Structure 1
Amino acid sequence: MAMFDLPLAALHDYRPALDEPADFDAFWARTLTEAREHDLAASLTPYDALLPGVQVFDVRFRGYGGQPVAAWLILPTVRSGPVPCVVQFIGYGGGRGRPHEWLLWPAAGYAVLVMDSRGQGDGDTPDLAGDTTPHHSGLMTRGVLDPELYYYRRLFTDAVRAVDLAATLDDVDADRIVVAGASQGGGIAQAVAGLHRRVRAALIDVPFLTWFRRATEITDSYPYQEISVFLATNRDRIADVFATLGYFDGVHLAARGTAPALYSVGLMDDVCPPSTVFAAYNHYAGPKTIQVWPYNRHEGGGSQQAPVQLPWLRDQLT
């Protein structure tokens, strides 16, 4: 894949006009208020992962609608008091996985709370009551004709509640909570940074769920293609679909983020095109920096992104 999007100089200046719903803030205030009417009802069950350098807990808490959400809490075994916590979100189609996959942050001295994505992965968190089958695709259009019913209303709310949970944990420094993720996880981290004032810093890698309209117009890659296929069939519902997506668009949520943010982007990324990432980055309201990987696609910096994140995060949390 060659560089198919705008040149880098133009990307740094790319700041499309916001076209958000008039009741955007009221919608999210009501959604989160309703979710917080349910007690978190958190349970932390010790889990023997045969990893003596860390302490692992199998976590359950109440997310959207009081529905149960699974997570891993992984702490460094050696710690002198409450530690910063990275709340980690997952890419499209994936779930919380297994504890050994999430050792970077505990190795750096942080806790990590890895939130399962409802209806995705291996099925630890159902999306809707009675529907325990995990979905590999199709979630981009699940409920897309009504913002009240749209899938990402539930998932973003779960993510906000995950930060609420992290702030209650005895071993976590509630003033040093970080949100992180790549692709869908990056889009979720971006959303939570815009919705939760307790976030201290945000690691937003190659974010998905951002500038939907342009994404559907310039890439044939999935998952954005799920929306395009839906619209090709439902020709008379285009306005309805983008009216719903306006409540969940990362560009609108980024405009409300105030915590320092470290973004990353691949200039050959056909899954999350660079202009969609820069649209959100340029609107992000807080202090920000972006790591550009010129010859990479959706993998972005891959294993080389962590060496960029670690010193940046150390500086934010000191």
Structure 2
Amino acid sequence: MPLFDLSLDKLVTYEGRNPRPDDFDAYWDRAIAEMRAVDAQIELRPSQFHVPYADCFDLYFTGVGGARIHAKYIRPNHVKTPHPAVVQFHGYSNNSGDWTNKLAYVSLGFSVFAMDCRGQGGGSEDVGGIKGNTLNGHIIRGLDDHPDQLLFRQIFLDTAQLASIAMNMPEVDPERVGAMGVSQGGALTIACAALEPRIKRLSSVYPFLSDYQRVWEMDLAKDAYVELKDYFRKFDPQHKHEKETFLKLGYIDIQHLAERIQGEVLMAVGLSDTICPPSTQFAAYNKIKANKQLEIFPDFGHEHLPGYDDRQLQFMLKL
């Protein structure tokens, strides 16, 4: 396997490069308090999609800042309640996907909640209201404003709020809720379990949004991370504010949230991933203090990992 990143023996001890703000914990404690104070105004609308063994809904709730957030919600009608549930998160710029790809879990007695991220490809709102650049990219949205205006702060909170809503559904056992996602979804899975520590099991596949400074130093600020390069070229061409920029990005760096996780973790990484470099993923994994397992795919990048979906389902069945 050709190496473009650290060797595996170095990856397993790598602790990340992006700085952690001194007030990081206070920042997120304040954010959680803000989220809990929101009147969610939950609304369920029956979907036009139907299957005999489940009830399907479009779920809407109000998140921080007043944005209405959409999620697909499917609950089995053939099992006893309360039953387990999983919350699912999608890749960058996409949406919650088709109803059909959630039915395997529903058929096994899980309720499934699949969120659309604000301002991306689904039905959730990005209400804006920030100073500075909004032309491209959610990583840098709010970077020229107060740290509380970072868009991924709001998206991370949406994940925890959805998990809490799921846990409060009368048909769901709040002690048996899991989270899962790939790429951006893998990052949001980690953020969700960090901010809603009642998540019992989580599966994160090659998570995005980790160790931004490492991405930059590897000259991989392209593809999913291209907005980092765009930001510097447009707004800080001489890198006079580089230190402050990466420090502010540290608030929305999942490696710094990972230590808050209490649930059991299953994570997958491809060592040939040039979209989300392996070292950035290990930076998050190595900070997890809870029980954890890592599945390594040496010759695979940011792509389907053969056999992992089966491994993930067996992991979640233990809920």
User: Does the pair score TM above 0.5?
Assistant: yes
Query: In the TM superposition, what is the alpha-carbon distance from 1:13 to its structure 2 partner?
Result: 2.2
Query: In the TM superposition, what is the alpha-carbon distance from 1:137 to its structure 2 partner?
Result: 5.1
SS of 2:11's equivalent in the other structure is helix
Counterpart mapping for 1:112-127 below 5 A: 112-122=112-122, 124-127=123-126
Name the structure 2 match of 1:55. Answer: 55
Counterpart mapping for 1:102-251 below 5 A: 102-122=102-122, 124-128=123-127, 138-145=137-144, 146-218=146-218, 219-233=220-234, 234=236, 235-251=239-255
Name the structure 1 match of 2:308. Answer: 305
What is the distance in 1 between the residues matched to 2:40 and 2:28? 19
Verify: 1:32 aligned to 2:36, yes or no: no
Range 42-51 or range 198-207, more displaced: 42-51
What is the distance in 2 between the residues matched to 1:13 and 1:284? 12
User: Which one of the candidate residues 244, 258, 261 is aligned to 1:257?
Assistant: 261
Let me know the Cα RMSD of the aligned residues: 2.1
Query: In the TM superposition, what is the alpha-carbon distance from 1:109 to its structure 2 partner?
Result: 2.1
Q: Percent identity?
A: 34
Letter in 1 for 2:309: A
What is the distance in 2 between the residues matched to 1:144 and 1:138? 11
Gap regions ≥5 residues in structure 1? none
What is the distance in 1 between the residues matched to 2:162 and 2:50? 25
CA contact (8 A) 2:18 2:246 kept: no
What is the distance in 1 between the residues matched to 2:57 and 2:106? 13
Letter in 1 for 2:297: W
Query: In the TM superposition, what is the alpha-carbon distance from 1:301 to its structure 2 partner?
Result: 1.2
Verify: 1:272 aligned to 2:276, yes or no: yes
Letter in 1 for 2:269: V
Name the structure 1 match of 2:14. Answer: 14
CA contact (8 A) 1:209 1:250 kept: yes
TM-score (norm 2): 0.91
What is the distance in 1 between the residues matched to 2:167 and 2:265? 19
CA contact (8 A) 2:87 2:163 kept: yes
What is the distance in 1 between the residues matched to 2:275 and 2:248? 21
Q: Deviations over 1:81-113 (max 9, x none)?
A: 121111111110012233223223213321110
Q: Deviations over 1:225-245 (max 9, x none)?
A: 211221233122212221211
Q: 1:104 to 1:244 in 2, by over 3 A?
A: farther
TM-score (norm 1): 0.91
Letter in 2 for 1:68: R
Verify: 1:282 aligned to 2:286, yes or no: yes
Q: 1:136 to 1:284 in 2, by over 3 A?
A: farther
Moved >3 Å (runs of 4+): 16-19
Counterpart mapping for 1:78-89 below 5 A: 78-89=78-89
Query: In the TM superposition, what is the alpha-carbon distance from 1:17 to its structure 2 partner?
Result: 6.9
The count of residues paired between Structure 1 and Structure 2 equals 311
CA contact (8 A) 2:157 2:195 kept: no
Name the structure 2 match of 1:42. Answer: 42
